[in-house]
Amino acid sequence: MSITVLGVNHRTAPLEVRERFAHEPREVPASLARVLAAGARGGVLLSTCNRTEFYLAEPDEAVPEAVWAILSERLGGGRSASEYGYTRRDRDAVRHLYRVSAGLDAMILGESQIQGQVRDAWETSKAQAGPVLHRLFQSALLVGARVRSETGLATGAASAPSAAVAVAARIFTRLAGRSALILGAGDMAELAATCLASEGVRVTLVANRTYERARAIAEQLGARALTLDEAWEHFTHADIVLTSTAAPHAVVTWDRVAPAVARRQGRPLCILDLGMPRDVEPAVAQLENVFLYDIDDLQAVAAQAAAERRDDIPAAERIVGEEVERFWAWYGGLVVVPVLKEFRERLDQVRAAELERALRRLSHLSPDDRGEIEHFSHTLLNKFLHQPTIALKEAAQAGRGYGMLEALKRLFGLERRDDP
Amino acid sequence: MTASRGAGAFRPVVLVPHLIALGLYTLAAALALAPFAGLRPAPRALGLGVPLLGLAAHVIGVARLTSFLGVAPTLSMLALFLVALQAASEGLFRASAVGVFTGPLATGLLGLALLIGLAPEGPPASGRGAWSILHITVSVFGLAMLALAFIAAALYLLQFRELKAKRFGPVFRLFPPLERLDQLNHLALVLGFPTVTLGVLLGFGVRYAGGASVDAAQVVWGMLTWVVLGWAVGVRVVRHWAGRRAAFASIASFAAVLLVYVALKLAAPGTQRFL
């Protein structure tokens, strides 16, 4: 019985590395299947622009190797992903997920977008998660919601989309009335577009590789749909360009946009690249009056707002601590029941066998006396089991059942898996 | 802008308001610079109120001057107009960062004026007083506008550099948006150029009316400076330059004004005449 998380995040790996680890939702089942095949009872893969983490229930010893192998393949160049990685086990793993969900482990303290990403990861991995991780992720979402409602950790504009607004506001005198072009159909671009729209920015054009998807988003935002190839000439007129495509390489290149930018007569152009991997070639930032920011830049801006949230960290950590204990009590209790059942069955088998042997030797006894002896054996067993059962249940309630359970299994040779 | 020597000493009615203004300008400069030293920014009311109080004291002091001629009164008036423009920039453009430059600059100019000596050095020539005052006031106001254009351009370039370099420190947080700085630069330059032109023409008029000759070097260098300033305005208005190029043009034109002034003062030193 154990819960483990293995992964990389913004603290352990730079953007260039993290973007190689990032999984599209369609890639998640295959990666999880490989890990589960190495020996785990359930898995959830949380992959965002800041982290790629495998949450695993009861992983065997070979599982970490499988995880690092998957990530190393994506890294390429013969490099080992484990150099960038970390491992948390049991309570620490639970605490880690709760902190992630609460925004305590985010690049931007208190960032709320992670809540949706945790939900998405859970939804995407549902078929492979197993009951323990189902419960863990459900509770993580509740912990995130509790922290945000009971503390000030989510106040202020500290998310990447809101940072996009802050950056644009340092370029333009007024955001109201500015025109924005959206490239791609990513959630981040949609979120950022919503934030900008709330400041009065008009999303006039939406371009995507597939025209139908562009049209669907454009209809939501009251904009006009384009294909990507049609979008480049609009770099002349747009004030803000938001990109969030699913392309594996940069789609906004110097060659494509430089002619249009040259016709802007010195007007500034703010390009917000929210894609992962990045959608905009870094050379585009060298164009005159073009201001290009990627996800790391925006998160750095938002980190300033997060600095103001630091006062709420102790309260948030206290909630996380409470919830970790609650989950661990549930988890401990979950595995106590089948082990206790097996323990009782095993001792009852011993009791029955010894009773039968004794009664064979005492064949002269009357049926009433035999019944009395059998009753005595039951009572004796129950008396013996009473205190250990109570102690084990109490330990489980207190979140200390795991160690006692292991001791019990070793002492009494209980081989059965403690499946929840 | 000429002055004649004469008797006179520091008069309290002139000195005290100037010293009060100097103290308040120093405080305003400190308030403007404090956030860049990692301190909490002052409330907007305080950031605007302190220089305005200084300005009020300064206006009283300048009004008591019996002569506006000479370097010291001109520097004092330049400081006054700079602070007035700083307050206007804050009020109209929310460009409080202008104070980062104007605060220390006005403090320095006023301090220098006090060091040189603000007391009248002699009675102004009769019949020229009103026109001289108008000429000096308009010229100095124009100069202050050009200084504001220069400051806005410098702020623009600093913010531009920070935004391009993706540095999100105090400049990013405390400076106004790029576009607003560009607008401030544009406005100051477009208003400053005709104001300076008018001031210079008034100066020629005052001199010719008084029968005084104008130094040929001043005419030649003055014309060249005027052409440079005109070019900076022209590229903005006619060729629609904006952003960094326009900021460089603005800085170049103001630098030309300063260089020519320094060169002319080196050629004819003295504090009796501003130019």
Decide if B248 touches A, using CB distance below 8 A.
no
pLDDT tens digit string along A369-391? 999 999 999 999 999 888 888 88
Residues of A in contact with B163 (CB under 8 A): 170-171, 291
Decide if B40 touches A, using CB distance below 8 A.
no
Residues of A in contact with B168 (CB under 8 A): 297, 300-301, 304
CA distance linking residue B109 with residue B272, whole number of Å? 16
Domain edges within chain B: 12-267
Token duo for residue A163:
């940072």
pLDDT tens digit string along A333-350? 777 777 888 888 889 999
For domain A160-307, which architecture applies?
Answer: 3-Layer(aba) Sandwich (3.40)
Q: What is the model's pLDDT at position A334? A: 73
Which among B163, B243, B245 has CB closest to A170? B163
Q: Phi first, then psi: what are they for B14, rounded to 5°?
A: -90, -45
Threshold 0.80, pTM exceeds:
no
How many CB contacts within 8 angstroms connect chain A with chain B? 47
Q: What is the model's pLDDT at position A418? A: 44
Token duo for residue B178:
């790029």
* B171–chain A nearest CA distance, Å: 10
Mean pLDDT, rounded, for A125-130? 92
Q: What is the model's pLDDT at position A401? A: 66
Q: Which of residues 262-291 of A touch B (CB under 8 A)?
A: 265-268, 285, 288-289, 291
Element (H, E) at B225: helix B216-237
Residue B4: band (very low, low, confident or very high) from pLDDT cuts 50, 70, 90: very low
Question: What one-character DSSP code corresponds to residue B104?
Answer: H
Q: Do A170 and B178 touch (CB under 8 A)?
A: yes
Residue-averaged pLDDT of chain B:
86
Residues of A in contact with B175 (CB under 8 A): 170
Q: What is the model's pLDDT at position B204? A: 84
Cβ atoms B148, B85 nearer than 8 A: yes
Residue-averaged pLDDT of chain A:
87
Residues in a beta bridge with A43: A56
Global ipTM: 0.83
Residue B206: alpha-carbon gap to chain centroid: 22
SS3 A147: helix
Mean pLDDT, rounded, for A56-62? 89
What's the CA angle centered on A273, arms B97 and A82, to 5 degrees? Answer: 110
Q: Do A173 and B172 touch (CB under 8 A)?
A: no
Please say if the pLDDT value at position B271 is more than 70. no
Which among B159, B180, B243 has CB closest to A289? B243
Decide if B137 touches A, using CB distance below 8 A.
no
pLDDT tens digit string along B131-162? 888 888 999 999 999 999 999 999 999 999 99
User: What amino acid is encoded at B103 in this protein?
Assistant: G
Q: Do A304 and B166 touch (CB under 8 A)?
A: no
Q: What is the model's pLDDT at position B247? A: 95
pLDDT tens digit string along A267-320? 899 999 988 889 999 999 999 899 999 988 988 887 777 776 887 899 999 999
Q: Do A267 and B240 touch (CB under 8 A)?
A: no
pLDDT tens digit string along B47-66? 899 999 999 999 999 988 87
Question: What one-character DSSP code corresponds to residue A294?
Answer: E
SS3 A242: strand
Q: What is the model's pLDDT at position A190? A: 73
**Which CATH code is given to the segment(s) A3-155?**
3.30.460.30
Q: What is the CA radius of gyration of chain A?
A: 29
Catalytic residue, candidates A8, A13, A38, A49:
A49
pLDDT tens digit string along A72-98? 999 888 888 999 999 999 899 999 999
pLDDT tens digit string along B30-41? 999 998 887 878
Q: What is the model's pLDDT at position B5? A: 40
SS3 A207: strand
Decide if B245 touches A, using CB distance below 8 A.
yes
* B164–chain A nearest CA distance, Å: 6
Mean pLDDT, rounded, for B75-101? 92
Under 8 Å CB-to-CB from B3, ≥6 apart: which residues? B67, B69, B70, B121, B122, B124, B272, B273
Q: What's the sign of the alpha-carbon dihedral A208, A212, A217, A222?
A: positive
Neighbours of A235 (CB within 10 A): 24
3-state helix, strand, coil in chain A (%, to 5): 60, 15, 25
Q: Mark whether A49 is an active-site residue.
A: yes
Please say if the pLDDT value at position A404 is more than 80. no
Q: What is the model's pLDDT at position A387? A: 87
Element (H, E) at A157: none
Cβ atoms A210, A232 nearer than 8 A: no
Residue with structure tokens 């050095």?
A: B121
Long-range contacts of the stretch A81-84 (C-beta < 8 A, 24+): A81/A8, A81/A21, A84/A8, A84/A12, A84/A13, A84/A17
Q: E-assigned strands of A97-190?
A: 179-183
Q: What is the model's pLDDT at position A417? A: 46
Q: Phi first, then psi: what are they for A102, rounded to 5°?
A: -80, -10
Q: What is the model's pLDDT at position B198? A: 94
Long-range contacts of the stretch A402-411 (C-beta < 8 A, 24+): A402/A1, A402/A90, A402/A331, A402/A332, A402/A335, A405/A1, A405/A332, A405/A335, A405/A336, A405/A339, A408/A339, A408/A343, A409/A339
pLDDT tens digit string along B211-229? 777 778 878 888 889 999 9
Tell me the pairing of strands A51-57 and A3-9. Answer: antiparallel
Q: What is the model's pLDDT at position A123? A: 93
Q: What is the model's pLDDT at position A419? A: 43
Domain edges within chain A: 3-155, 160-307
Q: What is the model's pLDDT at position A398? A: 67
SS3 A268: coil
pLDDT tens digit string along A191-223? 777 778 878 899 889 998 888 888 888 888 888
Please say if the pLDDT value at position A420 is more than 50. no
